[in-house]
Each structure stands twice: as structure tokens, then as C-alpha cells.
């Protein structure tokens, strides 16, 4: 039987010659004892449930803490990876620029070398032209001289022919 605190406070015992009716008091005490025993059992169950829930809550809070730490660690790792990738990209670009500059420098050096070779070949051509011209002029002079000597010889031959006749 359930009894409320208000019912206990408002309960009126019948009076007998010696005071309150002993049976009624004992009956009420029995009901109160049962109610307190039931309340104690329920209280113990609730305390056990609170302990269980508190333990589960602590476990969930610990898991939440671990998850937060994991997320934080993952975010740091992502940031580190981004930074490392950015640095690596910058390094690759820098190396590519250096290689490009080296290629341009080599190409420029090759251009200068080819221009120098062209200059040397032009110089050789002019020297050969001058040499050939000099040789031709020399041979032309020799031919002229030979032609003049031949003409003198022809004149002398004509004089000799004339004398022989």
C-alpha cells in the first residue's frame, strides 16, 4: 500500500483510554515501514542507475574528448600536409625556374658561339676571296706579261721573217 507524506501528517489516530489505539499505530507504522522500504529500494535503484549513467556519461565524455583530440590532430596534420605541399610546390617551381634560366643561358651561349662561328666563316670567305682574287690578278698579270712577250716575240718573228725574205 502506498502512503504519501501528507497522509502521514494528516492521519488522526483514535484515542483510547490509555492513549492512541496500539493496533492502529502499529498498522500505520507497518505501512510507513513498507513505504520507506519501497522508497529505499527505489532510491537505491535510482542511485545505481545514476551511477551507471554517470559512468556512461564519463565514458562518453572521454570518447568525446578523444574524438576532439583526434579531430584536432587530423586538422593539424591536414594543415601540415598543406604547408608541406605548398613548400614542395614552391621548391619545384624554384628548381624549374633555375633549370629554365640555365637552359636560356646555354641557349644564349650557343647563339653567341654560332654567331662567332658565322663571323669566323665570313672572315675566312673574305680571306679566300681576297686570296683567289690576288691569285687571279697574279695569273692575269702573268698572262698579260706572257701575252706582251708573245706579242714582242711575234713582232721579232715578223722582223725575222721580213729579213729572211
Domain parsing of the chain, residue ranges: 5-164
Residue 164 has a pLDDT of 67
What are 19's strand-pairing partners?
Answer: 16
Rounded average pLDDT over 142-165: 77
C-alpha cell at 158: 715578223
Residue 140 has a pLDDT of 92
Q: Of residues 24 and 46, which shows the higher confidence score?
A: 46
What pTM was estimated for this model as a whole? 0.44
Q: How far apart are CA 156 and CA 161, in angstroms?
A: 8
Q: Of residues 59 and 158, which shows the higher confidence score?
A: 59
Beta strands in 17-158 (DSSP E): 19-20
Quick: pLDDT tens for 103-134: 999 999 999 999 999 999 999 999 999 999 99
Quick: pLDDT tens for 49-102: 999 999 999 999 999 999 999 999 999 999 999 999 999 999 999 999 999 999
* Among 24, 30, 42, 34, residue whose Cα is nearest residue 2: 34
Amino acid at each position: 500500500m502506498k502512503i504519501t507524506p501528507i497522509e502521514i501528517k494528516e492521519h488522526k489516530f483514535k484515542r483510547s483510554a490509555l492513549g492512541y489505539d496500539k493496533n492502529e499505530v502499529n498498522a500505520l507504522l507497518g505501512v510507513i515501514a513498507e513505504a520507506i522500504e519501497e522508497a529505499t529500494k527505489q532510491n537505491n535503484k535510482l542511485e545505481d542507475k545514476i551511477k551507471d549513467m554517470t559512468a556512461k556519461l564519463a565514458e562518453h565524455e572521454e570518447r568525446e574528448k578523444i574524438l576532439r583530440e583526434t579531430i584536432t590532430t587530423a586538422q593539424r596534420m591536414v594543415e601540415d600536409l598543406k604547408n608541406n605541399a605548398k613548400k614542395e610546390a614552391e621548391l619545384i617551381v624554384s628548381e624549374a625556374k633555375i633549370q629554365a634560366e640555365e637552359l636560356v643561358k646555354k641557349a644564349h651561349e650557343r647563339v653567341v658561339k654560332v654567331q662567332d662561328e658565322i663571323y669566323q666563316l665570313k672572315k675566312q670567305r673574305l680571306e679566300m676571296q681576297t686570296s683567289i682574287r690576288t691569285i687571279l690578278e697574279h695569273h692575269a698579270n702573268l698572262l698579260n706579261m706572257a701575252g706582251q712577250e708573245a706579242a714582242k716575240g711575234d713582232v721579232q718573228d715578223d722582223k725575222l721573217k721580213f729579213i729572211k725574205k
